[in-house]
Structure formats: structure tokens, C-alpha cells
Amino acid sequence: MSHDPLAAPRAYLASLVRSIPDHPKPGILFRDVTTVLKDPRGFRLTIDLLVQRYVGAGIQKVVGIEARGFVFGAALAHQIGAGFVPARKPGKLPGPRFGVDYALEYGTDRLEMHDDAIEAGDRVLVADDLIATGGTALAGVELVRRAGGVVVEACFLVDLPELGGAKRVEAAGVKTFSLIDFEGH
């Protein structure tokens, strides 16, 4: 029987995630990670585990997806010595930018990035709090690719595997990593 050294830390993080039924619409069970962020041990543990995975991997930029991806991505970028690039909702970035439209589980949206945020050949990690259907993550991957960057991996605190997002991202040629999984949506 193999022993997963991350089992206890993952169980602790999972215990911190709050589940909110019927948000943002009926039938959705929303996994709220702000409860991980407010817990000093939980937030540190999240970043430390991600740093252990990516330190020394040659990541040059971390793209954090608005909004909670900013928190995880910026802290991770700082710790591994990479630059941080925000992928934002429309109209939020002041400089020349380009964008990608994408489908969500409960609607459609758009992500934008500054034209000069990533240089051709940059090794990039895409970071967000949660992956559900994968639409947001795929939009982040597409932004990086259009800018000429190479997506090394996409990382998340939470994966909802029943919704298939990680499989969709992997089918697009990008490995994924998440610290915890929740059954259901």
C-alpha cells in the first residue's frame, strides 16, 4: 500500500473549503476558497505545496486568472522567482491588450491580457483557484499561446473532476495539477 505524503495536508485544505449550495444559480454547489485564504496555515500550506512542485522548473511567468487566481498566482510567482501576469475580465487592463471569449458552466465571459505581458518562448504556469468545466483555464492557456508562450502546466487548489475541466485542459495538451478534489459540482 503506497503512502501519499500529501494526504494529511490535502485533507486539512479540503476541510477549509466552504460549500455554498445554489450559488451563483440553483443547482450549483459553489466551492468557496476564501475560507482557505483567511486561514493563515491553510494559505501558507497551499502556497508552500505549489512552490515545492514548481521551484526549479524554469517557470518565467505565472498567469493568474481573475480574481482568486491573482492571490495564488502572485504569491507563487514571488516564491519561485517568476514574473506575474494578470488575466483579467474585459476593460480592466489599461494598456494594449488582446482577449479570448469562453464558455462557463453558467454563462460566457472573456479574459484579456496585456500585449507585452509574455515574450515568445516564455515558460508559463497558469494558476487559478478552481477548475470546473475548464473553460476559464482553457482561455488562460489560449492567451499564453497567442502571446507565444509555452504553457508548462495549469495548477489549481481545487478540481471538480466530475465536470471534466482537467481532462479538457489535458486534451488541449496541457498538464494539470490540483491540491484537492471534490466530488460533485
Catalytic residue (choose from 68, 88, 97, 153): 68
145 carries an active-site annotation: no
CA–CA distance, 85 with 131 (Å, rounded to integer): 19
Q: Read out DSSP for 118-138?
A: S-TT-EEEEEEEEESSSHHHH
CA–CA distance, 150 with 118 (Å, rounded to integer): 10
- Nearest-5° Cα angle at 158, 17 to 149: 140
Q: Which of 9, 19, 83 is nearest to 50 (CA)?
A: 9
CA–CA distance, 70 with 47 (Å, rounded to integer): 12
Give me the phi and psi of 137, to 5 degrees please: -60, -45
Catalytic residue (choose from 10, 53, 105, 142): 105
68 carries an active-site annotation: yes
Please say whether the beta carbons of 158 and 183 come within 8 A.
no
Under DSSP, the state recorded for 8 is H
The catalytic residue positions are 68, 105
